[in-house]
Amino acid sequence: MADRLKDKVAIVVGAGQTPGDTIGNGRATAILFAREGAKVMLVDRDPVAVEETAALIRKEGGDCKNFEADITSADDCHAFAQATMATYNRIDILHNNVGISVEGGDAEITEITTEAFDRIVAVNLRSMVYACKHALPVMREKKSGVIISISSMAAREEYPWVAYKATKSAMIALTEQLAIQNAEYGIRANVILPGLMDTPMAVDRRAEAQARPREEVARERDAKIPLRGRMGTAWDVAYAALFLASDEANFITGVALPVDGGRGCRVG
């Protein structure tokens, strides 16, 4: 299919990515939304990374704008919502795609510091609250809109670090609240739970931190996936987001969708 998001305006929060050999979830989703006809506001704290995403979209003839923002700041979230309205005069899709764990100081519960816990809550959860706060009035006024957020299968599976587990679990509950409280406005809210993905943040950073070859880390992760014995990619997450953003999913709201190659089906 083509033009599944024709004439839609999407905000992708976390549209840049960390350096690496593969593509990240936010960048892949931004590119795919643009390919399917959306005008995309690219939001990221890293102006270089987000410009790289923008260049890829423009190379394919897509329509996008960049916005540098600290998504933990209520003022910055208000500002990118206003900038989207000033540029495109509507907000149809809000895609929340940010998250940190160990790089933010995450640890097991007996070792976590106040500073690390507060930082991870701010990035992973508070940012979602602020982004929704400033996009929802626009969506409510026009009686339509879609909110898609990226949680993690860490919310459902065993995970060693407390702040990531807590915040990604909270995103599911918040999505359910958004769905029921905004259904009367025609607004849908859903959350995606990626499993082990082959992205720069998941693989390259881990390999660097452990001083191991990337290929070795990737093989270990591949071996844990039932479906075809390999990790997913950012495109798998992006296509799930595309479906949820499109009119094909117009009766789907409040859903937590695993994208994990069946790993979450293992019991016992």
> By three-state DSSP, how is residue 44 classified?
strand
* Of 183, 220, 177, residue with least CA distance to 198: 220
What is the SS3 assignment for 210-232? HCCCHHHHHHHHHCCCCCCCCCE
Q: Give ∠ CA 72-78-81 in degrees, rounded to 5.
A: 115
Distance CA 157, CA 160 (A): 10
**Bridge partners of residue 65, in order along the sequence:** 41
Query: DSSP letter at 22?
Result: S
Q: Which residues of 169-185 are buried (b: 16+ CB within 10 A; e: fewer)?
A: bbbbebbbebbeebeee
* Residues 46, 82 contacting (CB under 8 angstroms): no
Edge to edge, what strands does the sheet with 63-68 contain?
A: 63-68, 39-44, 9-13, 93-96, 145-150, 187-194, 256-259
Q: Which residues of 190-222 are buried (b: 16+ CB within 10 A; e: fewer)?
A: bbbbbbbbbbbbbbbbbbeeeeeebeebbeebe
Q: What CA–CA distances, in Å, run from 189 to 14, 26, 60?
A: 18, 18, 29
Provide the residue type at 204 as one letter.
Answer: D
Catalytic residues: 164
